Structure 1
């Protein structure tokens, strides 16, 4: 249970770093990549509650926590749970691919927005770096 608590805290910390990074990018450049973090339009069941205040934020952090816990235990199965590069690679590549979800909604950014994709991917690389470092040195 102690390990799940630490992994959950890591997911929250890294999720805050990701959201802050994309918010700063939005403020400095106008990029709409930040909006995608909280959008649930493309998930049929969750689409109905997308407009409820705070649900997007809850979705973002649940995803962050869930992904950290699940990836940790997958990597533990192959004895790579403390490998920084594994987290960096999975979250960078995964984030780059997940940007395609922008194509399933009318909400910005457009799936063809290359700058938003670059910022989104960089943000997820940062997320992976934070997760990898915190797991390596704390979990």
Structure 2
């Protein structure tokens, strides 16, 4: 009976993919943040403010410097990226799962819009549309990163 070869990085498909998940979350989170910041700059819709809003977090001041708030957004994106890459490695279909996560995360508009007076209203149709487009873009970026990671993994098989 032969022993299967260990993966050179020391992980199996069942372990969390730290580096690729962190990179996937960072790239996707930065794209989402930049998109919503540009939308807010050009339209005045407070969708970037909504993304960074921390009014509801106990123990934190209602506002922090933008870089700190953006870093907190990236922490959430990295967690999503790690779980996403792990999920895709187990079950495949990176684009579908990325877009699914982007669409699901766009639903956060509902509770987040209710937690602060500094953000768009629950019924602000243009803000909702920008938010959804931004989160679908986030999902597409997850999917593209997932496809790249899976392609790279297949192009460099373990012997």
Aligned to 1:88, the other structure's residue is in SS state helix
Per the alignment, residue 5 of structure 2 pairs with none
Pairwise CA distance, 1:76 = 4.2
* Whole-angstrom CA distance in 2 between matches of 1:66 and 1:22: 20
Aligned to 1:44, the other structure's residue is in SS state coil
Q: Residue 20 of structure 2 contacts residue 85 of structure 2 at CA under 8 Å; is this kept in 1?
A: no
Pairwise CA distance, 1:62 = 0.3
Gaps of 5+ in 2: 1-8, 12-16, 151-159
Runs of 4+ in 1 over 4 A off after TM superposition: none
Q: Residue 19 of structure 1 contacts residue 34 of structure 1 at CA under 8 Å; is this kept in 2?
A: yes
Superposed, 1:1-139 pairs within 5 Å as 3-45=17-59, 48-53=60-65, 54-77=67-90, 79-80=91-92, 82-95=93-106, 97-100=107-110, 101-138=112-149
Q: What is the total number of aligned residue pairs between the two structures? A: 134
Q: Residue 40 of structure 2 contacts residue 47 of structure 2 at CA under 8 Å; is this kept in 1?
A: yes
Q: Which moved more, 1:117-126 or 1:9-18?
A: 9-18
Whose Rg is larger? 2
Pairwise CA distance, 1:60 = 0.6
Q: Residue 39 of structure 1 contacts residue 56 of structure 1 at CA under 8 Å; is this kept in 2?
A: yes
Gaps of 5+ in 1: none
* Whole-angstrom CA distance in 2 between matches of 1:131 and 1:66: 12
Computed over aligned residues only, the root mean square deviation of the Cα atoms, in angstroms, reads: 2.0
